[in-house]
Amino acid sequence: MPDKSNLISIYDTTLRDGAQREGLSLSLEDKVRIARQLDELGIPFIEGGWPGANPKDVQFFWQLQEEPLQQAELVAFCSTRRPKIAAADEPMFQAILAAGTRWVTIFGKSWDLHVIEGLKTSEDENLAMIGDTIAYLRSQGRRVIYDAEHWFDGYKHNPEYALKTLEAARQAGAEWLVLCDTNGGTLPHEISQVVREVVQATGGTTPVGIHTHNDADTAVANAIAAVMEGATMVQGTINGYGERCGNANLCSVIPNLQLKLGYKCLEDHHLASLTQASRFVSEVANLAPDEHAAFVGRSAFAHKGGIHVSAVERNPLTYEHLQPEKIGNVRRIVISDQAGLSNILAKARSFGMTLDKQHPACRQILQRLKELESQGYQFEAAEASFDLLMRQALGHRQQMFELKGFQIHCDIGVTKNALATVKVAVNGKDILAAAEGNGPVSALDDALRKALVNFYPAIAAFHLTDYKVRILDSGAGTAAKTRVLVESSNGHQRWNTVGVSGNILEASYQAVVEGIEYGLLLESATDLELAGSTVLVQ
């Protein structure tokens, strides 16, 4: 058990290594939202990407220079210089420096085979590449984390050379030496042995970190094994996203280290947001959350059956390995699902609303939430819709317009355009408006804004900034329910709304309508404070 030196630095690479996951594609806006969420979660190091490798990553770092993170260190990632050029002449490094981060992670080759076959250079030149790169970035005022790529395979093959690469990094000023199991096939007992040897060989002069992949289905156990041998940084991703079988899942590593082994990774109140953060990231990434994920999955603390349930309630620790609340998850009784008032109160708190447990609206919100969730609604990434739902229950939701119906017509033989017609009523007066659009949703959005803009001129500035679709119960193909998440903006704020229907157009319509309603609410909230609540906008 660690005591004094029990601090583990968590290093998140969801935005770089996580984004390598096949089928995952994050927009610039997605990356910024995830970075801010991780910052709120109290993750100390957030790797943002490889600036220079693609324009999106360059823009990402620029955007976060303008509006920096609150607490986390944003880290830029890059390889060592190429063979036979001076570090100062390496154009990649200009992009790295322009990213404007205090910390930079440099990865280099540890395995002689990769040096000779991959880089087609000499072992000595590789050592020089590592040393020069780090020394150059240090001379430019950067702090450096060194990621030793293919460490475990390289070390098994040629330990002397592998250790030389670490020594080159250390001497040049790297402040962490991170051992990467790049191919992901190493097992925990091998990780233990190698980390032990490295800690001995480096004599504790420079802290050691661990970066594991899940190809042997032991990434989490591998990270833990390394920490138990003295590693003090863990690199991983939210939900274990990553290339092939993924990276070490921080949603498992963190609670194991902190709640079972006594290490300190996050503040306790941050740890209690872990489940929410996991779901937020999966929503933004547009990936179905893994319901069976350890710690944060919806089924992780689900109990079936009568006797078992009362036993759990009498003495939870005889049937649960830890208390779900510590990571912001909830115990679920599968037959009679009790999502819990405390959940609602916690959500209200997260929107900045103070809601009393005794308030009759609480039960009403709970009831409505259960109905909607059973229909496939999910409010994790649709805070604006949840806010509207709470206002409705509290009697604070104003009806700004009434919906009468809409039509979509789309004729691909004749034109690529879609035609939308909407009918709404404001103050008892019917308004019919029609608009053409590239697709049916933008046509619908235009038609709605046309119909309403004379009554609410602020609408002229509203626009859709993101649109995500998820098919629920995918076994049923297109007959299944569709959930649409819409992000809207008024130019300086953004908010998210949700719609669900068997018909994708109707689900889109619901989300677009709530997006407009919430935008209007924001406009009025700038004049008068609404019902003692502050409005949360990401």
Q: Is 123 in the site for a copy of itself (CB under 8 A)?
A: no
Contact 297, 332 (CB under 8 A): no
CB of 531 to a copy of itself, least distance (A): 28
Q: Is 67 in the site for a copy of itself (CB under 8 A)?
A: no
Tokens of 216: 């042997």
Contact 422, 432 (CB under 8 A): yes
Q: What residues from 170 to 229 belong to the interface with a copy of itself (CB under 8 A)?
A: 183-189, 214-218, 220-222, 224-225, 228
Q: What residues from 219 to 248 belong to the interface with a copy of itself (CB under 8 A)?
A: 220-222, 224-225, 228, 243-246
Cβ distance to a copy of itself smaller for residue 374 or 478: 478
Q: Is 373 in the site for a copy of itself (CB under 8 A)?
A: no
Tokens of 105: 């992670």
- The radius of gyration computed from the CA coordinates of the chain, to the nearest angstrom, equals 26
Q: Is 537 in the site for a copy of itself (CB under 8 A)?
A: no
Q: Which residues contact 279 (CB under 8 A, 6 or more apart)?
A: 289, 296, 380, 381
Q: What residues from 149 to 168 belong to the interface with a copy of itself (CB under 8 A)?
A: 150, 153
Q: Which residues pair with 459 in a beta bridge?
A: none
Within 10 Å of residue 323's Cβ, how many Cβ atoms? 13
Exactly one of 256, 273, 329, 533 binds a copy of itself (CB under 8 A); which one?
A: 256
Tokens of 125: 């030149």
Q: Is 49 in the site for a copy of itself (CB under 8 A)?
A: no
Which residue reads 């309630």 in tokens? 313
Q: Using CB under 8 A, which of the segments 345-353, 363-371, 431-439, 527-535 binds a copy of itself?
A: 431-439
Cβ distance to a copy of itself smaller for residue 501 or 538: 501
Q: Is 269 in the site for a copy of itself (CB under 8 A)?
A: no
Q: Using CB under 8 A, which of the segments 9-17, 100-108, 135-143, 313-321 binds a copy of itself?
A: 313-321
Cβ distance to a copy of itself smaller for residue 176 or 301: 301
Exactly one of 97, 98, 135, 294 binds a copy of itself (CB under 8 A); which one?
A: 294
Q: Is 63 in the site for a copy of itself (CB under 8 A)?
A: no
CB of 434 to a copy of itself, least distance (A): 13
Exactly one of 439, 453, 458, 494 binds a copy of itself (CB under 8 A); which one?
A: 439
For the CA atoms of 333, 335, 341, 346, the dihedral, rounded to the nearest 10 degrees, stands at: 50
Q: How many residues bind a copy of itself (CB under 8 A)?
A: 116
Amino acid (1-letter code) at residue 116: I
Q: Is 516 in the site for a copy of itself (CB under 8 A)?
A: no
Cβ distance to a copy of itself smaller for residue 364 or 465: 465
CB of 383 to a copy of itself, least distance (A): 12
Q: Is 479 in the site for a copy of itself (CB under 8 A)?
A: yes
Residue 162's alpha-carbon distances to 123, 158, 171, in angstroms, are: 10, 6, 15
Amino acid (1-letter code) at residue 517: E
Cβ distance to a copy of itself smaller for residue 127 or 484: 484
The site string for a copy of itself over 68-87 (x = CB under 8 A, - otherwise) reads --------------------
CA distance 123 to 117: 11
Q: Which residues pair with 483 in a beta bridge?
A: 470, 500
Exactly one of 17, 30, 40, 132 binds a copy of itself (CB under 8 A); which one?
A: 30
Query: 256-263 long-range CB contacts below 8 Å, 24 or more apart?
Result: 256/220, 256/224, 257/8, 257/224, 257/227, 259/322, 259/326, 259/327, 260/322, 261/1, 261/2, 261/224, 261/227, 261/228, 262/1, 262/2, 262/3, 262/6, 263/2, 263/6, 263/7, 263/8, 263/227
CB of 162 to a copy of itself, least distance (A): 14
Cβ distance to a copy of itself smaller for residue 474 or 524: 474
Q: What residues from 1 to 20 belong to the interface with a copy of itself (CB under 8 A)?
A: 20
Q: What residues from 407 to 426 belong to the interface with a copy of itself (CB under 8 A)?
A: 407-414, 416-418, 423
Cβ distance to a copy of itself smaller for residue 297 or 328: 297
In a 10 Å sphere around its CB, with 0-12 CB exposed, 13-18 middle and 19+ buried, how is residue 314 labelled? exposed
Q: Is 441 in the site for a copy of itself (CB under 8 A)?
A: yes
Contact 158, 109 (CB under 8 A): no
Cβ distance to a copy of itself smaller for residue 351 or 467: 467
Q: Which residue, 220, 222, 110, 103, is CA-closest to 169?
A: 110
Cβ distance to a copy of itself smaller for residue 189 or 349: 189
Q: Which residues contact 61 (CB under 8 A, 6 or more apart)?
A: 48, 49, 51, 74, 76, 98, 99, 100, 101
Q: What residues from 333 to 362 belong to the interface with a copy of itself (CB under 8 A)?
A: 334
